[in-house]
């Protein structure tokens, strides 16, 4: 590998690992391939979209030199933008819910960003960010965007989010030499699912694309979430329509409980040495269900969204 001009060049091109040990542990038939996106410089897959959204905004003339960038974030996009903005010379403000883990705040601070933490809605629990909590974060982001004359990256509405995550799918396809039958991806903004599914279908229209949702907070499966149902899979599962998720790409939905996601994360760490967060664990649990069901004997690809280091303040690894 040649010398890089900056850490920005270290974003993407992450390894793809065959989870043979986990497949054996669960006595499954088939293969699970994991894209180690937690190895991106700020510790999550969101570094791809941080760089992608900023570069595209520069190219489209939406972001002026030195202008403040702002983002509503569950933390990981904030961490990625904090890193990218610091290297490219944009002041950055992350707006996040107090329900998200404190590590994400500290990482933003480390990269020199400002963090605004928004109180959770009445009845919400720390570690469980609901759609109502997200609305409060969005309101505050809108207010601050106007006040600061900032550029809002807007991952929930910005199609450059999904575009940046097509690179994940393209890399998986190339690394596996086209040997992928299905993918499973947890929905937050839907950028990951849309980007990866778009890439897969471009390479082979027959690849099945499964949307992963919290069993407690289903939405796309057509089951209505119980009012106020919370879950612990940070980074998504808001049980609401996300603007650019293309439903025609969804083969089916897979529900994963908090316990299954936590077990998945703990096994990825202890059996495979992949130290990850809840959503990566949810992906492993979803792959297990698929290999026990409709994808028996096939190859399912998943993403390791973020690092377990971001959950040390929670009980995930306590
Ligand atoms: C840890 C984690 N997993 C999964 C997701 C969901 O990804 P996407 O927004 O691409 O749907 C996010 C998004 O914030 C995340 O932070």
Question: What does the pLDDT look like over 17-36, one tens digit per residue?
Answer: 999 999 999 999 999 999 99
- Identify the CA nearest to 299 among candidates 112, 19, 32: 32
What is d(CA 41, CA 86) in angstroms, rounded to the nearest whole number? 13
% of the chain surpassing 70 pLDDT: 98
% of the chain surpassing 90 pLDDT: 83
Q: Is 305 in the pocket of ligand 1 (CB under 6 A)?
A: yes
What is d(CA 86, CA 97) in angstroms, rounded to the nearest whole number? 22
In which band, very low, low, confident or very high, does the pLDDT at 226 lie, cut at 50, 70 and 90? Answer: low
Burial class (CB in 10 A: 0-12, 13-18, 19+), 241: exposed
Place of tokens 């974030």: 73
Distance 46 CA to ligand 1 centre (A): 7
Distance 96 CA to ligand 1 centre (A): 14
Question: What does the pLDDT look like over 83-94, one tens digit per residue?
Answer: 999 999 999 999
CA count, 13 A, side-chain hemisphere, 112: 11
Distance 305 CA to ligand 1 centre (A): 7
For residue 125, give every residue at least 6 positions away whose Cβ sits within 8 Å of its Cβ, in sequence order, or none. 99, 230
Strand ranges inside the chain, DSSP E: 16-18, 31-35, 69-72, 92-97, 114-118, 151-152, 182-186, 208-214, 252-256, 299-303
Q: Is 60 a catalytic residue?
A: no
Place of tokens 């992949």: 274
Q: Which helix (H) or strand (E) holds 141?
A: helix 131-148
Q: Is 190 in the pocket of ligand 1 (CB under 6 A)?
A: yes
Distance 2 CA to ligand 1 centre (A): 30
Distance 281 CA to ligand 1 centre (A): 13
Indicate the range of 44-48, 99-103, 137-141 predicted with least confidence. Answer: 99-103
In which band, very low, low, confident or very high, does the pLDDT at 104 lie, cut at 50, 70 and 90? Answer: confident
> What are residue 115's DSSP bridge partners?
94
Selecting among 5, 27, 45, 46, the annotated active-site residue is 46
CATH of domain 7-44+162-311: 3.40.50.1100
Residue 58 has φ and ψ, to the nearest 5°, of: -65, -45
Q: Cα Rg for the chain, rounded, in angstroms? A: 18
Q: Is 130 in the pocket of ligand 1 (CB under 6 A)?
A: no
Mean pLDDT of 70-94: 95
> What are residue 18's DSSP bridge partners?
33
Q: What are the residue ranges of helices labelled H in 176-239?
A: 191-203
What is d(CA 194, CA 166) in angstroms, rounded to the nearest whole number? 8
Cβ atoms of 239 and 183 closer than 8 Å: no
Q: Is 277 in the pocket of ligand 1 (CB under 6 A)?
A: yes
Domains in the chain: boundaries: 7-44+162-311, 46-152
Q: What is 46-152's CATH number, 3.30.70.2860, 3.90.76.10, 3.40.50.620, 3.40.50.1100?
A: 3.40.50.1100
**β-bridge pairing 31-35 and 16-18:** antiparallel
Quick check: do 7-44+162-311 and 46-152 share a fold?
A: yes
* Ligand 1 mutation target, pool 279, 280, 281, 306, most atoms within 8 A of CB: 279
What is d(CA 223, CA 43) in angstroms, rounded to the nearest whole number? 33
* Ligand 1 mutation target, pool 36, 42, 48, 76, most atoms within 8 A of CB: 76
């Amino acid at each position: 590998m040649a010398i890089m001009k900056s850490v920005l060049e270290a974003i993407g091109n992450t390894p793809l690992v065959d989870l043979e040990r986990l497949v054996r542990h669960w006595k499954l038939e088939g293969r699970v391939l994991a894209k180690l996106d937690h190895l991106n410089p700020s510790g999550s897959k969101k570094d791809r979209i941080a760089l992608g959204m900023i570069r595209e905004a520069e190219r489209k003339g939406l972001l002026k030199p030195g202008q403040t960038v702002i983002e509503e974030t569950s933390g990981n996009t904030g961490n990625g933008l904090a890193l990218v903005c610091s290297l490219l010379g944009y002041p950055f403000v992350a707006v996040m819910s107090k329900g998200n883990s404190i590590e994400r705040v500290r990482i933003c601070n480390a990269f020199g960003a400002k963090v605004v933490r928004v109180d959770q809605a009445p009845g919400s629990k720390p570690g469980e960010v609901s759609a109502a909590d997200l609305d409060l974060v969005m309101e505050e982001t809108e207010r601050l965007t106007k006040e600061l004359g900032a550029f809002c990256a807007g991952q929930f509405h910005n199609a450059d989010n999904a575009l940046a995550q097509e690179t994940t799918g393209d890399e998986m396809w190339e690394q596996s030499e086209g040997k992928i039958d299905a993918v499973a991806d947890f929905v937050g903004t839907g950028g990951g699912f849309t980007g990866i599914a778009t890439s897969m279908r471009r390479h082979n229209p027959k690849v099945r694309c499964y949307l992963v949702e919290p069993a407690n907070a289903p939405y796309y499966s057509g089951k209505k979430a119980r009012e106020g149902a919370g879950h612990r899979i940070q980074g998504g599962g808001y049980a609401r329509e996300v603007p650019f998720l293309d439903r025609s790409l969804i083969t089916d939905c897979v529900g994963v409980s908090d316990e299954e996601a936590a077990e998945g994360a703990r096994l990825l760490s202890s059996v495979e040495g992949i130290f990850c967060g809840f959503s990566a664990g949810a992906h492993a649990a979803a792959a297990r269900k698929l290999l026990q069901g409709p994808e028996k004997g096939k190859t399912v690809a998943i993403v390791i969204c973020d690092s377990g280091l971001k959950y040390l303040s929670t009980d995930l690894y306590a």
